Structure 1
Amino acid sequence: MPRTERIISATGQDHIMVKGLKECPLFRDNMDKEKYLELLEKYKKIHPIKIYAYCIMTTHAHLITDSNESNLSSFMKSVNQSYAIYYNKKYNREGHVFHDRFKNKPILTDKYMKNLSLYIHRNPKDIKKFKHNTEKYKYSSLPIYLGLKDEANSIIDSSYVLQLYDANINEARKKYLVAMNQDDKFTDIDLINEFNTQKTHYKSDIRVINSRFETEHIVEFIRKNFDRTFNIHLKYDRNNIEYKALSVVLIKYYCNCTYKSIGHMIGNMTSSNVSRLCKKGLELIDSKKEYSFIFDDLLNFYS
C-alpha cells in the first residue's frame, strides 16, 4: 500500500512528532534523549532548519520546526536513521525503531503556534516528579523560554514564539509562564490520532543489555506509586492483575528477562500467559492516562 503524500506547510512551519513502537520505549534512558538532541544539532548544521521548541519523552518526541527553505524530510530522515543505528547497536537488537515515518502538521496561524508550544512544554506534567515544575524537566526547551537556561549554545530559537507574547523579552517570558500555568485543554489531536490509528507490522525481538534494574526494583516502584498491597505472586485477584501486567512490561524491558524467567519468578506461569500479560500491560499504558508515562516515572523514581 503506497504511503500518503506528505503535506507541505505553506508557512514552512510544522509540528513534528516521532513515536517509538508500542512494545519498545523510544528513549530508554537520559543518554538516549541526549543522543537525539545531539543528532538534531548535528544535522541542523547541514540543513538550515530552525527549531522553535522541543520536548523529548520516553515514548515519543515533539518538535516545532521552520524549514527555512530547506528540506524538512531529508533533515528528519538523517536524524531518525542515525538514531535507529545508534539505538539498535546500543541495545543489541535489529529492526525498526520508529513507528512509521515522522508525522507533521502545518502551523498556519500565530494562535496555533502559541497553543502548540504550550502543549509541547506541558508534556512532562504527566510525570509525577514534574507535575508542578515542568520547567525542571531537562529534555524540553521550556527552561530556555523562561530564561533559566542559556540559549546561546542550544538548538532552539525561542524568540520567534516569545515575540508573539510581547516585544520585550522579559515581559514575554513572564506572560509565557502565566500561560503555562493556565489549565489549557489544547491538544494536537489530529496528529496524535494519526499514530494511534496506524498499525505497525513489526514484531519486536528485543534483548536489553546492561540493565540497571532488578525485578525487586519494579515491584517496589509499583507498590509505592500505585498500590502498597500489590503482590506479584498473588493469583486470581482482579485488583492485582492490572499492576501485575504493568510489572511484566517493565520487567521484560528493563531487567533482561525472558517470558520463561518471568513466569518462573511469578510462580508456575507459562510463557504464553506471561506474553498475554505483557500485551495487556502495553494496552493499559497505551489507553489509560495514569499509566502513559510509567517508563518516565520508573526512571525518575530511581534517578
Structure 2
Amino acid sequence: MFRFLASIFQRLAPLRNPKPVAKVKDSPDAFAQLNEVAPLIAVRDAASHAPATTAKVLPFVCREAILNRAERICGYEFLLDRPMQARFKDRGVGIRKTYDHLLMRELTRVGHGSLLQDRLTMFEIGAASMVGGIPNKLPRANSVIFLNAPNDPIQDQTMMGKRIDALNGAGFQVGWSWQKAAELSMDALTRCRFVRVDTTAFDGIELKELARRLARLNRANGEPRIQLITRNVQTVDDFQMCFRAGFDFFQGPFISSFKSWKGPKSDVDRLRVFGLLRRLRSGAD
C-alpha cells in the first residue's frame, strides 16, 4: 500500500501552478480542457473499462454534475476516480488523510476554478484532514468543502465548530455531510452553508423531516440560509420526492444520465406511501 502511495506522489511531483485559462463564459475550449483534466464520472468509468488502444494515462480526478431547482447544472463535485477510491475505502484515518490531500493537490494542479467560472466547485474531505492544512493555492471562489465524519456521535463539537470557522475564514464555503449518528450541534450547523445527505441512507419520511428541520432553522436564523443537497439520486422517483420536499440541489446517477429530469409520472406516489407508513408506525387507523 505504501509503495503504491509513493508512486502516486512521485507521479504528481513537482506540483506546477495551474495554467491560466481565459475567462470566457461557457467557453467551449474551457470545458474541453475541463473534460480533459477532470472528466464526468460516467465518461471516466466508461474509459477505464474500454480496451487499451493508446498509451494515454487517465486522470485521477473526475466530476459529477450538481443540479439546482431550476434544473440547470450549477456546479460539480470533484472526487478521485472509482479505482482510486476503492484503494482507500474503509482504511484508517491516516490513509483517509492521504486520499484527501491527494484530491486537494490534484484540484490545485488542474486549476478547476478558472475552468468553471461562476459554477460551484464541491469536494469532500474527512474532518480530521483539516489538521494537515488546506493547500494555499486551492481556489477559494465558489469552492465548497464538505466535512465528513465517521457515523458515530461527535465527541468534540467545539473542535468541529473551530474547523468550520477556519474554513470560512480562509474564504471557503462549508458543507456538512449529514449522517444519522454524526450530528452537528445547532451552533456548528448554522456556520455551514450546505448540508448534504445520501438518498440511499434515509427513507422518504426521514428526508422530508430533515428538510422541515432545516427550514425551521433557516427561518429562525435568517440569511444566509443553509441549502440542502441530496446525493446518490438513483431514479426519477427519488428526484421528484426530494424536489417536492424542498431540497435545493441534486446529484447522483440519475442526474448524470442527462435524461428528462421530470420523467414520466410513476404509478406509485411515494410520498403518499410514506405518509401511510408514518400512520402505520404511529398506530393510526
Q: Same fold (TM over 0.5)?
A: no
> Normalization by structure 1: what TM-score?
0.27
Q: Which structure shows the bigger proportion of residues in strand conformation?
A: 2
> Normalization by structure 2: what TM-score?
0.28
